[in-house]
Amino acid sequence: MRRYHILAGGAVLLLLAGLALSCPARCECSAQSKSVSCHRKRLAAVPEGVPIETRVLDLSKNKLRIITPDNFSSFHLLEDLDLSDNLISVVEIGSFRSQLALRSLNLRSNAIQLVPAGVLAGLGNLTGLDLDHNRLVVLLDHAFQDLRKLASLQVGDNELVFISQRAFVGLSGLQSLTLERSNLSAVPTEALAHLHNLVELRMRHLSIALLKPFSFKRLSRLCRLELDYWPWLDSLPPLSLHGLNLTQLFLTNTNVSAFPGAALRHLPYLTHLNLSFSRIEHIHQGELGHFPHLTELRLQGARLLSIEVDAFVGLVSLQLLDVSQNRLDSLERGVFASPDALHRLCLGGNPLVCDCRLLWLLNSHKPPSLHLLDLQPQCSAPEYLSGKTLRELKEPLVSRYMTCSEPRIGANATQLLMAYEGQPARLSCAAEGAPRPSVVWITPHRRYVTAKSSGRVEVGADGTLEIKAAELHDSGLYRCIASNPAGNASLWASLAVKGLGGRDGLRGSNRSSNYMANSSSGSGSSSSSTWGNGTVLYNMTVPIDIKTIIISTAMGCLSFLGVVVFCFLLLFAWSRGKGRHKSNFDIEYVPRKSNGASAEAAESSGPRRVNMKMI
Ligand SMILES: *[C@@H]1O[C@H](CO)[C@@H](O)[C@H](O)[C@H]1NC(C)=O
Ligand SMILES: *[C@@H]1O[C@H](CO)[C@@H](O)[C@H](O)[C@H]1NC(C)=O
Ligand SMILES: *[C@@H]1O[C@H](CO)[C@@H](O)[C@H](O)[C@H]1NC(C)=O
Ligand SMILES: *[C@@H]1O[C@H](CO)[C@@H](O)[C@H](O)[C@H]1NC(C)=O
Ligand SMILES: *[C@@H]1O[C@H](CO)[C@@H](O)[C@H](O)[C@H]1NC(C)=O
Ligand SMILES: *[C@@H]1O[C@H](CO)[C@@H](O)[C@H](O)[C@H]1NC(C)=O
Ligand SMILES: *[C@@H]1O[C@H](CO)[C@@H](O)[C@H](O)[C@H]1NC(C)=O
C-alpha cells in the first residue's frame, strides 16, 4: 500500500515537471485548474497524453464508443469526468475502479443499454451521476451499490420499462432523483423504498395512469415530490401519497379532474402546492382541508369554473394564489380565511364578471399588501366594463356598473303540488339575480339539497327540485332559498304524495290528491300516470288553471281528462276553500301521522298554512 503511494507520488512529481508539454493534441489544458477540455474534437478514443494529475476532464461531444478499465486507470485524482454526448454503448466492469476521488460523472446522451452491478464500483466519493438520455431499458439489482455518497442521480430520457426492486440498494446518501421520460407504467415503489434519505423526487413525462395506495413508502425524508406531465393520470386516490410528509407537491400537467383533497389530507406540512394545468373545475367548500403551513397554491391553467366561498378557510398562511388562465368568473373575498395575509394573486386570463364580488380587489378596497401579479385581470362582463382591467376601474364606473342585484324568485312563487307515489315530482324555484343565485332546497326532513347533491332528490340547473320517484314520506313543506352576494330570497312549496293503494302522504288531501300537478310551470302540465285502481293512461298537456278550463268547457272541447281535472279542482276548492278569494286559496293541512318521518316534522311545527295562487 505504502509502496503504491510512493510510486504514485513519484509519477505525479515526474509529470508535474513536464506539465506544460503534456496536453493531448487537440485539447485545451489548464495547469492552474488541472483541467483538460477535449470538447467536440471528434475523438474516437480517450486521447493520449492527458496529464495524470488531471482533476477535470471534459470529453463531451466526441465519438467514444466504449469505456474500458484501461481508459482512466492512471487518473487517480480525477474529480469531474464529462463523457456526455458520445456514442458510448458499453462501459466495461471496473472502468472507474481507480476513480476514488471522482465526484461527478456525466454519461448523459450516450447509447448505454445496461448498467450491470460492478460497472460503477469504486466510485465511493461520487456525488453526481447523470445517465439521462441513454437507452436503458431496465435498472438491475445493485447497479448503484457502491455509490454511498451519491446525492443526485438522473436517469431520465431512457426507455426504462422496469426498475428492479434492489436497483437503488446502497444509495444511502441520495437526496435527489429524477426519473423522466421513460416507459414506466407504474411507480417503482419497492425500488424507491431503499432511498431513505431522498429529499426530492421528480417524475416527469410518464405515462403512468394509476397511483396505487402507498405508492411512495418509506420515503420519510422526502420533502418535494414533482409529478409533472402525467397525461394519463386522472385522479389521485386517497391513500396514494400516504406515508409521505411533504412540504412541496407538484402535480402538474395531469388529467386530474377533481380536487385531490382526500389524498392531500395526509400532508399537513405542505407549504407549496402546484396543481397547475390539470382539469380541476371546482373547488368546493371544505374540500381542501386544513393546511396551516401552506403559503403558495398554484392552479394556473386548470379548468377552474368556481371556487366556493370558504374553500380556502383552512389555508390560514396563504400568501400566494395563482389561478390565472382559468375560466373563473369571480373570486370572492370570502374564499379566503384571511385575505389580508394574501400578498400575491394571479388572476389574469379569466373571464371575470366585474360585479360587487370583485370590489375587494380594486385599488381603493384591496388589502394594502396585496399585489396582483402577471397579467392584469380583465373584465369580460358587464358589457360596459368589458376589456377594462381591474386597475383601470374608477368611480363613477364602479358604483354604476360593479353592482349585484338581489335574487328574486319568479311570479308563480307559491306551489301546492301533488304526485303519485313512484312518479317524478318537480318543484320549481326559478330565481333571478346578478350574479346568478345559487339555490338550496330544504326538505320537510330538514335535509339540504343543492345542485351538488345527487341521488333520488336533486336540484336541476334552473333551481328546480327534482324527485325522481316520489315516496310517501316526501310529502310536506319544502323551502327554497336562493342567495347571492347581494342577498337571498326564499319560497315555500308543498308536496303531497298520493299512494297508489289509496294511501297518501297528506291526511287532508285524500280526495283531492288525484289531482296531478307538474310544477315546472304554473299554467300547464304534461303528465303520464295510472289512474286510481284502473290503468287509464293519459299523456297530454293539461291546462290546470281555471280560466283555461272554463274556456275549454265553454268551447265544448272538453276531454275526459279535462272533466276529471275540472271536477277535482271544484272538489278541492269546495272542501278547502274557506278562505277563498278571487284567485287565492288558503289551505291548512297536517302531515300524515301514520308516516313516521313527516309526523316528526309536523309535531315540531304544527299545521302549516300554504298560500296557493292560481293564475
Ligand atoms: C474518497 O472517499 C474515501 C472514503 O470512502 C476517503 O477516505 C477519501 O479521502 C475520499 N477521497 C477524496 C479525494 O475525497
Ligand atoms: C417506449 O415508448 C416509446 C414511445 O411510446 C416506444 O416507441 C418505445 O418502443 C418504448 N420502448 C420500450 C422499450 O418499450
Ligand atoms: C383526460 O380525460 C378526459 C375525460 O375523462 C378524456 O376524454 C381524455 O382522453 C383524457 N386524456 C388522457 C390523455 O387520458
Ligand atoms: C414532517 O415534516 C415537518 C416539516 O418538515 C416536521 O416538522 C415534522 O416533524 C415531520 N413529521 C414527521 C412525522 O416526520
Ligand atoms: C407550477 O407548475 C407549472 C407546470 O409545471 C410550472 O410551469 C410552474 O413554473 C410551476 N410553478 C412553480 C412556482 O414552480
Ligand atoms: C338571508 O339574508 C338574511 C339577511 O338579509 C340573513 O340573515 C340570512 O342568514 C340569509 N340566509 C341565508 C340562507 O343566506
Ligand atoms: C313537467 O312538464 C314539463 C314541461 O312543461 C315536462 O318536460 C316534464 O316532463 C313534466 N314532468 C312531469 C313529472 O310530468
Concatenated DSSP letters for 366-421? S-TT-EE-SSPPBEEESGGGTT-BGGG--TTHHHHHS--EEEEE-SS--EEEEEET
Which ligand 4 atom sits closest to the C-alpha of 245? 1
Whether pTM > 0.85 for this model: the answer is no
Contact 482, 409 (CB under 8 A): yes
- The reported pLDDT for the residue numbered 3 is 54
Contact 417, 399 (CB under 8 A): no
Contact 70, 46 (CB under 8 A): no
Would residue 246 be called left, alpha or beta, if left means φ above 0 and alpha means ψ between -120 and 50 degrees? beta
Rounded (5°) CA angle 363-369-371:
60
- The reported pLDDT for the residue numbered 503 is 57
Q: How far is CA 509 from CA 161, 418, 505, in A?
A: 71, 9, 8
- The reported pLDDT for the residue numbered 521 is 33
- The reported pLDDT for the residue numbered 588 is 36
Please report where in the chains the cell 290528491 appears, as a residue.
Answer: 513
Q: Does residue 261 line the site of ligand 1, with CB under 6 A?
A: no
Q: Which of 243, 236, 242 is nearest to 275 (CA)?
A: 236
Which bound ligand lies closest to the C-alpha atom of 488?
6
Helices 546-555 and 560-576, packing angle to 10 deg: 130
C-alpha cell recorded at residue 192: 424507491
Contact 129, 154 (CB under 8 A): yes
| Max Cα distance, the chain (Å) | 127
Q: Does residue 233 line the site of ligand 6, with CB under 6 A?
A: no
- The reported pLDDT for the residue numbered 502 is 58
The DSSP call for residue 50 is: -
| Residues in a beta bridge with 252 | 228
What is the signed CA dihedral for 202, 204, 209, 215, rounded to 10 degrees?
Answer: -10
Q: Which tens digit of pLDDT belongs to each residue from 55-65?
A: 999 999 999 99
C-alpha cell recorded at residue 51: 496529464
How many CB atoms sit inside 10 A of residue 363's CB?
Answer: 11
Q: Which tens digit of pLDDT belongs to each residue from 561-609?
A: 444 454 455 545 555 544 444 444 333 333 333 443 433 433 444 444 4
Q: Which residues of 220-246 are buried (b: 16+ CB within 10 A; e: fewer)?
A: eebbbbbbbbbeebebbeeebbbbbeb
User: Which of 159, 181, 229 is the best mutation target for the ligand 2 pocket, counting ligand atoms within 8 Å of the beta carbon and taking the most?
Assistant: 159
Q: Is 375 exposed, middle or buried (0-12, 13-18, 19+ CB in 10 A)?
A: middle
Three-class DSSP category at 10: helix
C-alpha cell recorded at residue 27: 485539447
Q: Does residue 183 line the site of ligand 2, with CB under 6 A?
A: yes
* Nearest CA, atom 7, ligand 7: 526
Give the helix/strand (H/E) hosting 560: helix 560-576
Q: Which residues of 506-543 are buried (b: 16+ CB within 10 A; e: fewer)?
A: bbbbeebbbbbbbbbebeebebebeeeeeeeebeeebb
Rg of the chain (C-alpha set): 37
CA of 372 to the centre of ligand 7 (A): 48
Contact 307, 283 (CB under 8 A): yes
What is the signed CA dihedral for 520, 521, 525, 526, rounded to 10 degrees?
Answer: -50
Q: What's the rounded Cα separation, in Å, for the pair 272 and 286?
A: 19
What are the start-end ranges of the H helices in 74-204? 189-192
Q: What is the 3-state secondary structure (H, E, C) of 196-244?
A: CCCCEEEEEEECCCCCCCCCCCCCCCCCEEEEEEECCCCCCCCCCCCCC
Contact 133, 160 (CB under 8 A): no
Contact 463, 429 (CB under 8 A): yes
CA of 266 to the centre of ligand 6 (A): 35
CA of 197 to the centre of ligand 7 (A): 64
DSSP character string of 488-501: EEEEEEEEEEE-TT
What is the signed CA dihedral for 182, 187, 189, 191, rounded to 10 degrees?
Answer: 0
**Weakly modelled stretches of the chain, pLDDT under 50:** 1, 7, 10-20, 506-564, 566-567, 571, 577-615
Q: Does residue 98 line the site of ligand 6, with CB under 6 A?
A: no
Q: Does residue 460 line the site of ligand 7, with CB under 6 A?
A: no
Q: Does residue 125 line the site of ligand 1, with CB under 6 A?
A: yes
Which ligand 6 atom sits closest to the C-alpha of 488? 1
Amino acid at 32: Q
How many CB atoms sit inside 10 A of residue 443's CB?
Answer: 20
C-alpha cell recorded at residue 133: 438520455
- The reported pLDDT for the residue numbered 602 is 38
Amino acid at 413: A
Q: What's the rounded Cα separation, in Å, for the pair 239 and 222?
A: 17
Q: Which tens digit of pLDDT belongs to each residue from 388-420?
A: 888 888 888 788 888 888 888 876 556 788 888
Contact 93, 68 (CB under 8 A): no
Helix, strand, coil abundance in the chain, percent, nearest 5:
15, 25, 60
Q: What's the rounded Cα separation, in Å, for the pair 52 and 462?
A: 81
- The reported pLDDT for the residue numbered 21 is 52
Per DSSP, which regions of 18-115 are E strands?
28-30, 35-37, 56-58, 66-67, 80-82, 90-91, 104-106
Which bound ligand lies closest to the C-alpha atom of 464?
7
Q: Which tens digit of pLDDT belongs to each residue from 210-227?
A: 999 999 999 999 999 999
